[in-house]
Amino acid sequence: MYQRILVATDGSDLSRTAVLSAIDLAAALGAELVALYVVPRYPVSYFEGGITISVQDMARTEKQWSDKGQAVVDAVQQEGQAKGVQVKPVVVQSDLVAESIMSVVQKHACDLVVMASHGRKGIQRVLLGSETQHVLTHSTVPILVLR
């Protein structure tokens, strides 16, 4: 059925549900798993004209965020291996989370995406955005959304 599943995680408790489900599904299907963590770029434009942030401080902060992302996907890899699932950890840096997910799907030839959703509705969804909704409406592969 599915041969390569992408699971998007941000290390939160909610995305942990998606990770555990993706590992179980991959184990049941004999599929490979791609664990993706998208690291945001430092929000330079947010501070324009106000606070001066050094390039070194920005680089140090982005490295900390990347290291955290790597630790999250490495943990997914260890959990998957414990259940006999081959996991490829992937960390990308981008402010465009949904586009990054779809790009990694293409690059790694994934045929299913597993991700979590907060299930926000109304004005909260409009104000906070929905990466899951964006992936749902633009993906070329099936999406399994967990809440």
At the fourth CATH level, which superfamily is domain 4-146?
Answer: HUPs (3.40.50.620)
Would you kindly state where each structural domain of the chain is located, as residue ranges? 4-146
User: Which pTM value belongs to this model?
Assistant: 0.85
CA distance 141 to 147: 20
Give the Å distances, CA to CA, from 75 to 25, 63, 90.
17, 18, 12
Q: How many other C-beta atoms are found inside a 10 Å radius of the C-beta of residue 110?
A: 25
pLDDT in tens, 58-81: 788 889 999 999 999 999 999 999
Q: How many other C-beta atoms are found inside a 10 Å radius of the C-beta of residue 64?
A: 11
CA distance 90 to 136: 21
User: Angle at Cα 72 formed by Cα 126 and Cα 82, nearest 5°?
Assistant: 125
Question: In this predicted model, which residue has the larger pLDDT, 71 or 125?
Answer: 71
What percentage of the chain carries pLDDT values higher than 70?
84
Amino acid of residue 101? I
| Residue in the block written with tokens 């982005």 | 62
CA distance 125 to 107: 29
